[in-house]
């Protein structure tokens, strides 16, 4: 029997996919990335294979995993015709769904474009490897997370070619930077810290949590574990600030949801 994991945005297709797969259990848990391979659940349910939709491989697991990347066909030519940015060399990047559009964009932009490749969740190494050759990046896809990650990691201007609206917009990370600085300043007075660890296979990093605990000494800290890290699960736990060792987007995108300062380990 197979165990189907599917991102929330594709759940409307879950039953069609299940019909194609045959003997299958559909996981209804949210699935934000290929870091989240739910092998324990699959084994518990007697499944011998996971079918993981919408992401490409990131981690190894004990159980067989088939990744179904789900490429979209999008022609960026019209939107690129209206491209009006002052930068000369443009690094081209995208999420897995729009990798085929990068080749079209390269042809349209010619020598101005340098191919970077896929941004895989929080892994922006394909942008970092061309950072010295480009003045800015153009991300082809939907949503802002990947582009924000590239802007914060590289320090270069990043534009999104939003495939849903067929238009180009610049990513503004100033708000995220202000929120980070505020969290750093407020947490200086924290006496007791909570170190957040996710039990998701590709996010779990207990070694890092212990290193953080050592770094925070002599301040008191507690390691707090859960599957998906959500603020409501922390209600009643009397710490003054958090360090997040799981998915970095939790602290970057949802920093203000926690009611207390939250930092990623490299922000302490
Ligand atoms: S850790 Fe977060 S950003 Fe990285 S792949 Fe997983 S869900 Fe995506």
pLDDT tens readout for residues 103-159: 999 999 999 999 999 999 899 999 999 999 999 999 999 888 899 999 999 999 999
**Whether the predicted pLDDT of 246 surpasses 90:** yes
The H or E element that residue 141 is part of is: strand 136-141
Task: Name the residue with the closest Cα to ligand 1, atom 5.
Answer: 121
The residues of the chain that CATH labels 3.40.50.11840 are 2-68
C-alpha separations of 159 from 26, 104, 136, 138 in Å: 36, 17, 8, 5
Nearest atom in ligand 1 to the alpha carbon of residue 246 is 1
**Pairing mode of beta strands 136-141, 90-94:** parallel
In this structure, what token pair is assigned to residue 54? 């919408």
Mean model confidence pLDDT for the chain: 95
CATH class of 175-267: alpha beta
Q: Quick one: CA dihedral 252, 253, 258, 259, positive or negative?
A: positive
Q: Is 55 in the pocket of ligand 1 (CB under 6 A)?
A: no
CB of 122 closer than 6 angstroms to any ligand 1 atom: yes
Parts of the chain belonging to CATH 3.40.50.11850:
77-172
Q: How confident is the model at residue 9 (pLDDT cuts 50, 70, 90)?
A: confident
Nearest residue (by CA) to ligand 1, atom 8, is 121
Residues of CATH 3.40.50.11860 domain(s) within the chain? 175-267
Instruction: Provide CATH code, domain 2-68.
Output: 3.40.50.11840
CATH number, span 77-172: 3.40.50.11850
Judge if pTM exceeds 0.85. Answer: yes
């Amino acid at each position: 029997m197979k165990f189907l994991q599917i991102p929330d945005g594709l759940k409307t297709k879950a039953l069609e996919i299940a019909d194609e797969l045959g003997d299958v259990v559909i996981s209804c848990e949210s699935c934000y990335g290929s870091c989240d391979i739910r092998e324990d659940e699959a084994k518990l349910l007697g499944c011998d294979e996971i079918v993981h939709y919408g992401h490409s491989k990131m981690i190894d697991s004990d159980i067989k995993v088939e990744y179904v990347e789900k490429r979209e066909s999008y022609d960026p030519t019209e939107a690129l015709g209206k491209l009006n940015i002052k930068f000369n060399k443009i690094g081209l990047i995208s999420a897995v769904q729009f990798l085929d559009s990068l080749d079209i964009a390269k042809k349209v932009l010619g020598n101005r474009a340098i191919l970077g490749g896929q941004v895989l969740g929080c892994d922006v190494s394909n942008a970092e490897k061309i950072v010295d050759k480009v003045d800015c990046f153009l991300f082809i896809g939907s949503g802002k997370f990947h582009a924000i990650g590239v802007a914060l990691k590289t320090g270069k201007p990043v534009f999104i070619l939003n495939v849903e609206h067929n238009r180009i917009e610049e990513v503004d990370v100033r708000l995220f930077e202000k929120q980070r600085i505020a969290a750093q300043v407020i947490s200086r007075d924290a006496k007791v810290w909570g170190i957040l660890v996710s039990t998701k296979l590709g996010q779990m990093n207990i070694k890092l949590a212990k290193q953080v605990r050592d770094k925070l000494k002599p301040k008191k800290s507690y390691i707090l574990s859960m599957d998906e890290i959500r603020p409501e699960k922390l209600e009643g736990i009397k710490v003054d600030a958090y360090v997040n060792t799981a998915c970095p987007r939790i602290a970057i995108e949802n920093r203000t949801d926690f009611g207390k300062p939250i930092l990623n380990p490299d922000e302490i």
